[in-house]
Amino acid sequence: MSDSLHSRYDCNHCTFRELSCLHLAAEEFELVRRTSQQLLFRKGEIILKQGAKASNLVYLHKGIVKFNFENESGKSVILTIVSGPILLGGANLFFKEINLFSLIALEDCEACLIDSKAMKRLLSNNGKYAITMFEESTEMFKSAIFNFISLAHKQVHGRVADIILYLASEVYKSNKFTLSFTKKEIAEFAACSHENVITTLSKMNKEGIISIEGKVLEIKDPARLLEISRHG
């Protein structure tokens, strides 16, 4: 179960508050603060559920989450993986009344659930704030778009190379990181079989492009990995 963070998280040092108060008076932002919930989501917990009413945005203060889409046959596809701090769920606020996908914690995450009605009230009265929130909330879709371009035009080894490079630069911010998810989830991200992912990672490991020890992955030869990405 998710736990309250009210006892240990200071709203006065929140990056979302700092961004909002560039356009809002402090008393205006108070509406957001009063109607928000600060929660700790444990690894594997669903933060937003696909198909449920879109009643909240999520400001992810800390942690890593996946955007998971399940089709009618029950097959799961990972649209993208992101790390905090970042505003999530904006597509629901601007375009839909139900969640288009599930948002699932890949590790323990600290987040605020922001009431959509309170946000819409503020956005309707402040055009500059509305533009800023739209830009912030749609930023993560760039990675999903680039991932689907990769899926459409590359073989498995190119897709896996793209994912490793993306994780290093955008999620973990390091060429050496501990994976927060399984190889099966990498397969769901790359839209290929679990076996293909294992084979590709094993080959890259043997060729010295990456090293894998347990869940720790390190890019040893970034130039060769980038070459695989470009020509994959």
Domain limits, the chain: 3-139, 145-231
Backbone angles phi, psi at 44, to 5 degrees: 95, -10
Q: Tens digit of pLDDT per residue, the chain (232 long)?
A: 455 444 455 666 778 888 888 888 888 888 888 888 899 999 999 999 998 888 888 999 999 999 999 988 888 889 889 999 988 876 656 666 788 889 999 999 999 998 888 888 888 888 888 888 777 776 666 667 776 777 777 899 999 999 999 999 999 999 999 999 999 999 999 889 999 999 999 999 999 999 999 999 999 999 999 999 988 7
Strand pairing report for 86-88 and 56-62:
antiparallel
**CA-CA distance, 212 to 3, in Å (whole number)?**
34
Second CATH level (architecture) for the domain 145-231:
Orthogonal Bundle (1.10)
Task: State residue 6's pLDDT score.
Answer: 44
Strand pairing report for 3-4 and 176-178:
unpaired
What is the model's pTM? Answer: 0.85
Beta bridge partners of 205: none
Q: Quote the DSSP letter at residue 188.
A: H
Domain 3-139, what fold? Answer: Jelly Rolls (2.60.120)
